[in-house]
Structures are given as C-alpha cells and as structure tokens.
Structure 1
Amino acid sequence: MTVSPRNLRALWPLAPCACTALLCLCPALRGRGAEDGAGCGPLLKGSALLLAAGAGPPTLLVRPRSDYVCCHLALAVRLVPALPLGDALYLVPARQALWALDASKPEQRLLAWLRQQAPPDSCHLKCLQILKGLRDLSGRGLEGPLGAQWGRVLSSYALKTALFSVLLRGPWQAWQEQFLVERLEELVLYLRDCLRKRVLMHFFLGNPHVPEAVPVPRFLREAAPLNLLAAFDAATLDAAATQLLAAWSQAPKIIRMYSGPRHLRRSPALCRHVPEASQEAQSD
C-alpha cells in the first residue's frame, strides 16, 4: 500500500514523531531506561558511532571499541524515516515519492500465533529462508525487463504472504521438518500459480481470513483488498513464473546450505516441474 505526496500532506504534522518511530523500529539502539537508569544501551556507551550517507537511507555504523568487545565486530543500522499512524502501523519511504505501509507488528503477532500452532520442529521459517535464497541466486545475472523487476515481483513481503497463505491451509503436522522439501515445493507451486493468475493478495489489507486469535488493527481489517501483483504486466509475471520454476532446479544447493544433506534423500523428483530441455542441459 502506497501513499502519494498529496495524501501525505494531512500526515505531515506527524513528522516530528518520526525520530521516535525510528527508535521503536530499532530495538538494538534503545536503552534499558528504568532498568539501569541510563539513557542509552550499554552497546552505545562502549561504541563509536558513524553516520554514513549515500543514495538510499542513511546508515548508522556502531563500532565497539577494542576495550569493550572484539574490535572486528560492527553493527550497521539503516535509518528509515517512519511516520506513525497508530496501532503499531507506520508509513515508510518507498520508491520515488511514494510511502509504503509498514505492518511489521501485525506480522510479528501472526508469526507468534503460528509458532504456537505449528509443531515444535516446524520448517516454515526455514522454507522462507530457502525461498529467499532461491530468489537471490536465480536473480544473479538476469538481464532485460525481468532482471529489473525480479526482486520487486518476488519481494520479501510477497514471499511471506505466500508462506502465510499456504500455512493456513494446513494441516499443521505437515510442516514437520521431515517434510521440508514437500512444503518448499508446495510454496513454489503456489507462487507459480499466483504469478500465472496475476493475483497475490495482501495478507492483512481487507483479508477476512486472518485468524481471529491474531489482533489486527481496524484500519487493516476495513481496508480495500490489495493485489500485490497489480503493478506488473502479464509478460513480466509469465517470465517470472518460468524463471521461478528454473530456480527450483537449484533447490538442492540451497537446501544443503540451510539444512544439510539429510533432506535431499526425500526429493527424487525435485525438478519435475522444470521443462525437460532444461533438465537435459543440467545433466550434460
């Protein structure tokens, strides 16, 4: 969800609150306050701070002194302006002159609820990590219109939205770690179908299927549903669907990176959805 400068005019009085929002979004920079009576955290007390400016949002570099902790450790925090809307919702800068809705707090509530429902050894978060790895690995070297749009079409939020949707289809026991390959394949095929149908709906905006046990701000519940793929043309989405299936052929490498080789024995048909010509080229 984006907001144009014209609509932002009414929100401009909230700008002085942006610094407060930054501290809320960066827990690592918050002090312990009443716990130790200090205004900043112990990490900041023993560190040198450097503000680096570039083309994007400024970055705060936190470099601990050698007498405080290992001098080779450092922390980089992107300082993203955030305008609070209430109910733990924020507007953050998006591309060009638009602002995007940040709903990270409802996401955290949903993830906490999912963790309670899923089995102790659930692989859903590992599936998300591997899916992001597949996207990043497959995006290397992409050229042309798809290369420019690949990271936007399969944004991290789009991948999370797909995961949430597939998770809620159940059953919960199907997400045990021993079924990691099967669930990962289900996620890839779900995303492929969404790309081919040109529809992937925002998980919170106007979604009546969000579990009742997950508190969602009224603003999100009553908002109009939003298609995350509406900004992309059909040719781009078709090309992304094809590229996603080609990326699936690289799954063994990514699974081994995140989970070790034990899961690969359960995947004799990892690439059955990839065109035969592509598989023959790999075997050569």
Structure 2
Amino acid sequence: MASGIFKVCMIVVTAIVNHPLLFPRNNATLPTTDEALIQKLREYEENHKTQQEQLEKLLSDQETPQEALAFWDIWSAMSMFLLLLIEVLRQDFMNRNSQDPGKEEDTFLSGNMLKGVSIPEKTILAAFYDQCIKVTTHEAARTREFVEGFVDDLLEALRSLCNRDADMEVEDSVCVGSTYENWRVNKPLECDLIVPFAPPEPFQFECRPWVIDQSITPHKQGYGTIRVCRPDDKEAGCVCGKTKLGEDLLCLVHSQNIKKNDNEDMNLLCSKNSNYLAKDQVMMWFQTSLTKAWSKISHKYEFDLNFRNLNIPGALRVKFRSGKVISFNITPVVQYEDSDLYLVSHFPSAPEPQDNIYWDISFAVYEKRFLKEVAKHLPDNSCHLSCLQIMTFLYSKQCSISGQTGLTTYHLKTVLLHLLLVRPSSEWDRSHLDSRLKDMLRSLEKCLLEKKLNHFMVGNPDLPESVKLPEVFRLAEPFNLFRPFVLNRDLYQNTLATFYEMLKNVNVLVNEYTLHTSLE
C-alpha cells in the first residue's frame, strides 16, 4: 500500500516538473505557428496518456478492490488539487512576465538575444561612430541657422498675405526632432519644425486628446480630435446666445457682423458634414499658403524651393546653384491648451493616416526637454546619443536591404529614454559604449517579443517633475506603441525577422562602412 502511494506521488511530481507552463526550459520558445502549437499539445496529450496507463497498472496490482478504490479516490482528489494549483501558478507566471519595461532593471534588461551574436568591442564601435555617423558641430549649426532664418522669412511673408479677419493665424515655428536633439543620422541633415496655427476670432479650436475623450477607441490611443467652435455654437461659451440683448446693445465678441463667407471658409477646413478639423484640408491650405508666400519673397534668394513630397504639408527642398541641397519639414500643428503639447497633422516619417479627423499628439518638446535635463547629470563624454545613432544607422541600413518594417526611429528613441531612467548616470560614460548598446538591443528585443513598448511620457510615474508634463497625461494609463504588432501578425513577423537579421549582420555592417569611409 505504502509503496503504491509512493509510486503515484512520484508520477504526479514528474508531471508537475515537466509541465511547460510551470517550469519552462531556459531555451524554450513560444510556438511561432499554429502547427507548432498543435504538435506541442499532441505531445503533452500522449505524455498524459502514458502517465494514466501507469496509474491504471498500479491500481490493478493492488491486493483488493477496496484498496484500488481508495487509490482512485486519492488520485481524483490530487488531480483536482493539482489542476487548481497549476492554474494559479500559471496566472502568477504570466503576470510576472508581463511587467512594464522600465520598472525594474532586471526585468527591463532581460533577454537572451546576444547568445551567439557578436557585438563589436568599444574601440571598434567608437571608430565606426567617428568615421561614419558623427556630424561636425559646425556643419549642423550652419544648417540649422539657415533653415530657421529662411522659415521665419517665409512665415512672415505668409502672414502678410493673410486676411486677419478671415484667415488662419500662423505663429512662430518651434524646432523639434532628432536634428535639434543632436542624434540625427541621415546625411545631409534634415530639420523638423512645427508651426502652430489658430482660427480667426471669434472661432476657437477645442482639442480633445484620447485621455479625456471616451469616444476615442483604444486603437486610437495617442490621437486627438480638434473641434471648430463657431460663433453660434453654444459650447463656445458666448453669452449672447443665452440671453436676449436689446436692439441697441452689441455683443463684444460678435460686434462685427460675421459674413456667411467666413463661416463657409471655416467649413472648408473641416471634415465633410462635421465640425472637426480635417488633416487633408489643412494640408491643402498650408501648401497653398506656402506657395503664395514663396512667390512674394523668391526674388530675394538665389536658389530654388519646391515640395519634395506632396503627401506631407511642408516637406520642402532648397537647391542652390552649386548643386547643394537642404531639406526640411514645416508641419502645421494645433497647440493643446497652454501646454507644449501639439496635435500634428502629419509626421514626415509616418505612413499616410487613414482617419482624417484624428491627429497625432506630439510630445517632442517635452522629450527634447527631458534629454536636455538628463544631459546635465551625465558625464561630459556621455554615449547615450551615440548608442541611439548607431542603432538607428544599423537598422536603417538593414531596412534598405530587407525592406521597411513596423519599427521606427521613434521606437528606438523610446527605448533609450526608458533606459536613461534605469541606468545610473555614471554608467553612460563613453568607455561603456558597447555595454550600453547591448542594453539597448536587449531592451528592444524584450519589447518586441512581448509586443509591448510603453510610451515614455504617458503614465510614467518615474518621469521627472522638471519635464512639466500636464497632469492629465502623467496620470493617464500607459499606452502600447507596439499595439500594431498585436493586430498585424505579418507586420510583426517581418519586423522581428529584420531585427534579428540586423543582429547577425552587425559586424559585417560596421566593418563594411568603416572600411568604405576610410577609403574615401
């Protein structure tokens, strides 16, 4: 009797130890196809049948039916208990493995991607960076100075052509993006500027980001709508629509009679049959306005100006007589309240948006501010931007071979931002270039495997107060930048394959471009 119970227990323990959900092997991976998953289930089912046959044999060897029945009762009770235990432990295992990246160093930096992949040592990486990627400070400063001065002149000409009582009011440009954060890789440098605009009085823009608008569905996280409030709209807040004024009394807001033409002009910038600002209409208005502004000042300059991409509002190219070309982007945006958040009509590097009334929300000003604040506490020869530039360079070269994927430079930048909150400042010295690059690669791989990369700004409790992000976004639920990978399996597999292909080619890419540059 005792020996039988011992054998039963040994079989049960063996089943638990070999359960894939409780004790996964170190080299185990999730099945990548339905066929692989079915095969795993078949193997598990066959193993279960074998264990059941062993139990039945043990029961048949007992001395009496009563002992067999007792064994069967024990087995049934233990089975029910173990099934409950397995489910509880499985849920705990899944919860522990789905922690947000950036919360704990061990969780965020876990990954086994570097096994079998050789990363160049720091001296080789440093030489590669200096020869192939690094942009001279003088060159970058000259490009930025020219672009900013020319854009100011262009916008001033645009304002002079506008009717202040009927046309949009264009404000001064704001410099954002990788060129102004000093990690731009593509040559020649390309500057990104955003231009806030507002409607003529008494119209108003009402911006509603997804964090305060419950009608915006989860797959539209990171977006917002812009409602045009007309003078006769009660929600605009004018008291003249709520009270009766005498014939001799005038509303200060509506003291001038508003023509129907003005109202119709505002409708032209809205989506059809709605009062929501439409991105394609804004793009047409902005391109037309820039064209008129250039016609007014073109005689002052000895170069040509043209649009290099008509699907982007202000993707412009300056071509000098010498043949030199400078490209830059001017993007119309709407400011969110009194913050440094902007609702952007189009991102230059993003695909054409499908929904015309949903605007991307840009945190570019806050991200630039964060990088500036962090740099104050990093070593003078910090390698954080060098790591981002090397990753961006290598991945862009791999994409030129394998084709475009769902991974963008903004994703790479987000990985770095998270990592800057995890690693101590002293570990970002240039002497740690290879180690920090490996950290970034591990972090990116982990996020890709989990299909989860949280936005750095939204819902991040570790974000420094000095960034001054609006409270509604600081306290909001984090949203996943890798959600498209969850919804699109083909996009995900293509992205993951390209990422691993890049890892295999790191040494080849580094050596090839370093050698090519040294021979020039």
Of 214-223 and 79-88, the range deviating more from structure 2: 214-223
Aligned 1:13-92 pairs, distance under 5 A: 46-52=301-307, 54-57=309-312, 58-64=314-320, 71-85=322-336, 86-92=338-344
Highest Rg: 1 or 2? 2
Contact kept, 8 Å, 1:2 with 1:100, in 2: the verdict is yes
Alpha-carbon distance in structure 2 between the residues aligned to 1:156 and 1:227: 16
Contact 1:47-1:62 at 8 Å conserved across structures: no
- Asked whether the 8 Å contact 1:195–1:238 carries over to 2, the reply is no
Quote the sequence identity (%): 27
Check conservation: 1:14, 1:84, Cα contact below 8 A: no
* Cα RMSD (Å): 3.3
Say yes or no: does 1:3 pair with 2:223.
yes
Q: Is the 8 A contact 1:196 1:238 kept in 2?
A: no
Work out whether residues 335 and 342 of structure 2, in 8 Å CA contact, stay in contact via their aligned partners in 1. Answer: yes
CA distance in 2, matches of 1:237, 1:53: 30
Q: Give the direction of change, closer, same or farther, for the CA distance of 1:46–1:161 in structure 2 (3 Å limit).
A: same
CA shift for structure 1 position 164: 0.9
**TM-score between both structures, scaled by the size of structure 2:** 0.38
Amino acid at match of 1:173: S
Provide structure 1 residue ranges, at least 5 long, that are not aligned to the other structure.
23-39, 262-284
TM-score scaled by length of structure 1: 0.66
Tell me which residue corresponds to 2:373.
113
Q: How far 1:88 moved relative to its partner?
A: 1.7
AA aligned to 1:213 is: S
Superposition pairs of residues 129-208 of structure 1, within 5 angstroms: 129-142=389-402, 147=403, 150=405, 152=406, 154-208=407-461
CA distance in 1, matches of 2:367, 2:510: 25
User: In the TM superposition, what whole-angstrom CA distance separates every residue of 1:130-180 from its partner, at most 9, and x where no partner exists?
Assistant: 1111221222343xxxx55x1x3x212111110011121112222111221
Residues 158, 243 of structure 1: alpha-carbon distance in 2 compared, 3 angstrom cutoff: same
SS of the residue corresponding to residue 439 of structure 2 reads helix
C-alpha separation in 1, matches of 2:452 and 2:331: 29
Aligned-residue offset at 1:108: 0.9
Q: Deviations over 1:228-254 (max 9, x none)?
A: 011223744355334323312332355
CA pair 197-59 structure 1, distance change in 2 beyond 3 A: closer
Q: Which has the higher contact order (CA 8 A, sep 6+)?
A: 2
- 1:183-237 CA distance string (max 9 Å, x none): 1111011111011112110000121111233322334313331110112237443
Greater mean deviation of Cα atoms: 114-123 or 95-104: 95-104
Distance 1:79 1:219, change over 3 A: same
Q: 1:104 aligns with which of 352, 359, 364?
A: 364
> Gaps spanning 5+ residues in structure 2: where?
1-220, 230-269, 287-296, 347-352, 516-520
Please say if residues 206 and 220 of structure 1, whose CA atoms lie closer than 8 Å, have aligned partners that are also in contact: yes
Task: Report the AA paired with residue 332 of structure 2.
Answer: P
Partner residue of 1:237?
492
* 1:79 match: secondary structure: strand
Whether the aligned pair in 1 keeps the contact of 2:227 and 2:276 (CA below 8 Å) is no
- Distance between the aligned counterparts of 1:168 and 1:63, measured in 2? 42
8 Å CA contact 1:188–1:245 kept in 2: the answer is no
CA contact (8 A) 2:342 2:361 kept: yes
- Contact 1:47 1:63 (8 Å CA) reproduced: no
CA distance in 2, matches of 1:224, 1:118: 30
